[in-house]
Amino acid sequence: MKLVKNPGAAGNGFDDWYWQRLSAVVLAVLLPLPFFLLAAVYSGSVDQLGLLDILDSFMSRLLHTLLIMAMIMHAYMGLKIIIEDYLHQIGWRVLLIGGMLVAMAGIGIWWLALIWAWGG
């Protein structure tokens, strides 16, 4: 088996591949839950106060936290790989990946602050 001469910008694609697939599995499990909750509200089986009770629970906040973390990780890994593969100037890579990291971290912190601040 020959060794790869140029493994790419990351040096090892397996780590990126692994975290991308792991976040995809977490998203596949957690992403349908808000849609089921939305369907329950629209069908009338859960009213507004029931929805607020569900969203205010610790388990709901924990699952929502896992969901946003998986979404941000999945988006970051995917966009980082696209930038590394198709943008050949190192300066632009650093600028875009750094800006993307700052923007996604800001969105994640804002979203988590909203999740953990509402209710009691």
pTM equals: 0.80
Amino acid, single-letter form, for residue 35: F
CA 17, CA 4: separation in Å to the nearest integer? Answer: 17
Residue 1 lies in a domain: no
Residue 30 lies in a domain: no
Amino acid, single-letter form, for residue 31: L
CA dihedral of residues 73, 74, 80, 84 (deg, nearest 10): 140
Residue 110 lies in a domain: yes
What is the reported pLDDT for 7? Answer: 57
What is the reported pLDDT for 22? Answer: 94
Residue 35 lies in a domain: no
Residue 74 lies in a domain: no
Residue 5 lies in a domain: no
**Which domain does 112 fall in, by range?**
89-120
What is the reported pLDDT for 17? Answer: 87
pLDDT tens over the chain, length 120 residues: 566 555 555 566 788 889 999 999 999 999 999 999 999 999 999 998 998 888 889 999 999 999 999 999 999 999 998 998 898 899 999 999 999 999 999 999 999 999 888 765
What is the reported pLDDT for 117? Answer: 86
CA 74, CA 110: separation in Å to the nearest integer? Answer: 18
Residue 106 lies in a domain: yes
CA 38, CA 61: separation in Å to the nearest integer? Answer: 16
- Count CB atoms within 10 A of the CB of residue 51: 14
Q: Domains in the chain: how many in total?
A: 1
Residue 53 lies in a domain: no
